[in-house]
Amino acid sequence: MAQFDVHRNIGKQREVIPYVVIVQSSLFDSYRRRVVIPLVRRSNLDNAAAVVGAALNPVFVVEGVEVVLHPLEVVSIAIDQLGEKVTTLAQEGD
């Protein structure tokens, strides 16, 4: 697990939030939790909820699904609650 890896959301809201992205630094890899930001289906957001495409809410395509980074919902979750890794956004790290 590395910073900017995208994992499937296996939680209750997986239809609206199909993925999460790890934003935690590798300096904390020894901890059993990871800080993640939800990647929300773009179709589930109205422009009032997030300024889609703005610097804080960039749009990504993951497995053919348009998703929006939703940093106001940052959370820490246990490693065993992360679904499988599907891709990385390391190239978008800046």
Sign of CA dihedral 63, 77, 43, 53: negative
Q: Has residue 15 got a pLDDT over 70?
A: yes
- The secondary element (H helix, E strand) that includes residue 6 is strand 5-9
Mean pLDDT of 77-94: 92
Answer whether 40's CB lies under 8 Å from 74's CB. no
What pLDDT sits at residue 56? 83
Mean pLDDT of 61-75: 95
Q: Assign residue 64 a region (left: φ > 0; alpha: ψ between -120 and 50; beta: otherwise).
A: left
What pLDDT sits at residue 54? 75
Q: Which residues, listed in sequence order, are joined to residue 85 by a DSSP beta bridge? A: 7
